[in-house]
């Protein structure tokens, strides 16, 4: 069941009013427990972490250990790190696929008083040399003291002058004759000490390292536990990359700190066999899982195939199926619900949320087990008047957005008019700004960015958004329209590239989820639209014509150019997000891997 916010009462007389709106959630009822204290408390329980798929090792047989056992191994690993010179305040980089050794090392670094910097592994290797250079650039910018690396990747990262010391994860794995948990020298907790230096997706050429001290990370973890109503008997299931904030914070740190059981795989396990994700939820009775929008597309296809082959799963325990990290497509959610019916997938489990690395992770959460609520607005009013005026779903110009919930405890949000600086009211579009206890302190060694990052203490997110009344007369909720830098201005209209990309993705022969739209300056300095799409077709000329007509039908203007490219060649970040700016650069430099027409 998908709820439509159109069915909810709304006082039209208050529409477009001048009264500014700020939404917030007090943190009075939140248990303010520091991260390391939570981890130590979790180690006293009996819940477990289970490594599955490639994360379990070469045999592929699942490996289960209690959080208590992992904590003791982390203390022994921490003692090994201290013996190698790691001290409080050091910045430690970690590079490797998801494994028991990597997870243990993350906790060990924190126990030593050092900070964690997860180095990304690209989704697509263009060259080994480029991968090594990107890793080196991030380490040097982040003043990394030591690189902990998986032996399988060591050959790709040969040390050069100026590099930090390199230590194999296998060399600090606890052994009978090595340091033990009792050898770890206790480090006094310091809430101001850096816990994570998280480089944002796609930032290797222009590094943006998010600084998260322990008190900021702890506040976000505490707030998410409260907002998501996490209990000890929840079971997390994840394949998310640990070099992305949703994987590292949401689906490792949160269950590690809460003491919930966790079933963890590697991204390549999901990408190779999406159905395994669903099988693990079924086998381990998972209650909490997450993925970006594209992963739910693959999950729906996998569910259909399972149905066709008679392999019926039971997904009924799932109460939080988080869709985040990239724009949520309501059609994808509706298709998932339909495909999940034979497998007892509950529509109420859909959990459309907003987050960003600059907040540690969590920004807004809906109430658990509410399901998706959509807000249908007039596209023309949104693009020309910058207001989200309600309309009926069957209207030609209808644009559908999911409501993304309320701020997690400790955060406040508002919408600001970029041109005038005024704080906007309900259903008025502007830049989302955030203030609160789990907002980062700034980007590491980037005074150029930090100078304009905050507006009187409010973090400028760069997201275009509006606040809409909550269903049933509840407090206003957040709606994200798109990134300010990606908006294409055509004839005075703010065209959101996501609209074009989703529409073109429905064209026969186009690989859904593998379309990029961006603006380029045309004649008389006016912006025009370019569409780049991955295709699999024996008749690319027909596909190109169909894409052109699809864009005209959507926005009333033809694209300046339609470029068809080979499957698997669109630029993406290490976490799988499409890179519009890089694609635009490749287009201008004639570097796209085009298909002959």
CA distances from 170 to 57, 91, 154, 399 (A): 13, 20, 11, 52
pLDDT of residue 422: 94
CA distances from 538 to 512, 544, 570, 597 (A): 17, 12, 20, 10
pLDDT of residue 149: 97
SS3 content of the chain, % helix, strand, coil (to 5): 35, 25, 40
Element (H, E) at 217: helix 214-227
Taking the domains of the chain in order of start, what are their residue ranges? 3-28+374-484, 488-588
CB atoms within 10 A of CB 304: 15
The SS3 call for residue 399 is: strand
Q: For residue range 163-172, list pLDDT tens digits in order.
A: 999 999 999 9
The answer to whether the CB of 95 falls within 8 A of the CB of 157 is yes
The answer to whether the CB of 191 falls within 8 A of the CB of 212 is no
The Cα–Cα gap between 148 and 396 comes to 55
Write down the residue that tokens 């991955």 correspond to.
Answer: 534
Q: What b-and-e string marks burial along 203-232, b requiring 16 or more CB atoms within 10 Å of the CB?
A: bbeebbbbbbbbbbbbbbbbbbbbbbebee
pLDDT of residue 578: 84
Vertex 504, ends 500 and 508: CA angle to 5°? Answer: 170
The answer to whether the CB of 164 falls within 8 A of the CB of 145 is yes
pLDDT of residue 492: 72
Q: For residue range 137-190, list pLDDT tens digits in order.
A: 899 999 999 999 999 999 888 888 889 999 999 999 999 888 999 999 999 999
Which CATH number, 3.40.50.300, 3.30.300.30, 3.40.50.10540, 1.10.260.40, labels domain 488-588?
3.30.300.30
Q: What b-and-e string marks burial along 578-592, b requiring 16 or more CB atoms within 10 Å of the CB?
A: bbbebbbebbeeeeb
DSSP secondary structure letter of residue 443: B
Q: Please give the CATH topology (third level) of the domain spanning 3-28+374-484.
A: Luciferase; domain 3 (2.30.38)
pLDDT of residue 139: 94
| Strands of 288-291's sheet in order across | 63-66, 48-51, 261-264, 235-238, 288-291, 320-323, 350-352
pLDDT of residue 309: 96
Its pTM stands at 0.87
CB atoms within 10 A of CB 312: 12
Q: What are the DSSP E strand ranges found in 475-544?
A: 477-483, 488-490, 493-495, 510-521, 527-535
Write down the residue that tokens 């590239």 correspond to.
Answer: 497
Residue 54 CA, chain-centre distance (Å), reads: 22
pLDDT of residue 190: 96
Q: Which residues of the chain have a pLDDT value below 70? A: 1-18, 123-127, 201-205, 522-525, 575, 597
Backbone angles phi, psi at 449, to 5 degrees: -85, -40
């Amino acid at each position: 069941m998908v709820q439509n916010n159109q069915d909810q009462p709304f006082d039209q007389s208050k529409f477009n009013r001048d009264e500014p709106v700020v939404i917030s959630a007090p943190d009075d009822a939140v248990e303010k427990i520091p991260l390391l204290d939570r981890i130590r408390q979790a180690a006293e329980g009996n819940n477990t972490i289970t490594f599955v798929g490639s994360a379990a090792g070469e045999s592929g047989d699942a490996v289960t250990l209690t959080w208590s056992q992992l904590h003791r191994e982390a203390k022994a690993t921490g003692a090994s790190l201290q013996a190698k010179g790691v001290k409080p305040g050091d910045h430690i980089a970690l590079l490797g696929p998801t494994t028991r050794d990597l997870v243990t090392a993350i906790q060990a670094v924190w126990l030593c008083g050092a900070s964690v910097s997860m180095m990304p592994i690209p989704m697509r290797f263009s060259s080994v040399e480029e991968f090594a250079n990107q890793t080196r650039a991030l380490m040097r910018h982040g003043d990394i003291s030591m690189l902990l690396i998986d032996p399988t990747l060591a050959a790709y990262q040969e040390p050069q002058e100026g590099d930090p010391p390199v230590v194999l994860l296998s060399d600090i794995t606890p052994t009978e004759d090595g340091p033990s948990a009792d050898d770890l020298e206790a480090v006094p907790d310091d809430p101001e000490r850096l816990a994570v230096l998280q480089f944002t997706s796609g930032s290797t050429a222009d590094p943006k390292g998010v600084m998260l001290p322990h008190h900021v990370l702890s506040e976000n973890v505490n707030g998410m536990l409260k907002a998501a109503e996490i209990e000890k008997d929840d079971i997390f299931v994840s394949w998310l990359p640990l070099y992305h904030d949703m994987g590292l914070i949401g689906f490792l740190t949160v269950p590690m700190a809460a003491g919930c059981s966790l079933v963890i795989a590697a991204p390549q396990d999901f990408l190779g066999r999406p159905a395994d994700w669903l099988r693990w939820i079924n086998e381990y009775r998972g209650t909490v899982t997450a993925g970006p929008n594209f992963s739910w597309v693959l999950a729906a296809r996998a569910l259909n195939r399972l149905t066709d082959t008679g392999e019926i799963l039971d997904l009924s325990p799932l109460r939080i199926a988080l869709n985040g990290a990239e724009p949520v497509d309501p059609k994808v959610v509706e298709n998932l619900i339909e495909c999940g019916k034979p497998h007892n997938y509950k529509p109420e489990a859909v959990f459309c949320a907003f987050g960003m690395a600059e907040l540690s992770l969590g920004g807004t959460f809906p109430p658990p087990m509410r399901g998706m609520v959509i807000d249908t607005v007039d596209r023309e009013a949104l693009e020309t008047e910058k207001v989200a005026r309600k309309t009926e779903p069957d209207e030609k110009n209808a644009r559908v957005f999911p409501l993304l919930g309320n701020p997690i405890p400790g955060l406040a949000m508002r919408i600001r008019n970029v041109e005038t600086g005024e704080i906007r009211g309900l259903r008025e579009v502007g830049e989302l700004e955030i203030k609160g206890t789990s907002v980062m302190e700034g980007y590491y060694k980037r005074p150029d960015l930090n100078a304009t990052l905050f507006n009187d203490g409010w973090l400028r997110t760069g997201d275009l958004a509006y606040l809409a009344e909550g269903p049933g007369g509840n407090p206003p909720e957040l709606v994200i329209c798109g990134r300010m830098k990606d908006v294409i201005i055509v004839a005075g209209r703010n065209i959101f590239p996501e609209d074009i990309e989703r529409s073109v993705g429905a064209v026969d022969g186009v690989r859904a989820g593998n379309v990029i739209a961006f603006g380029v300056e045309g004649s008389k300095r006016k912006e025009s639209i370019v569409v780049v799409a991955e295709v699999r077709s024996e008749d690319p000329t027909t596909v190109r014509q169909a894409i052109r007509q699809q864009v005209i039908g959507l926005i009333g203007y033809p694209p300046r150019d339609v470029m068809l490219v080979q499957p698997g060649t669109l630029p993406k970040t290490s976490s799988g997000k499409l890179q519009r700016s890089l694609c635009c650069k490749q287009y201008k430099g004639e570097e796209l891997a085009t298909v002959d027409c």
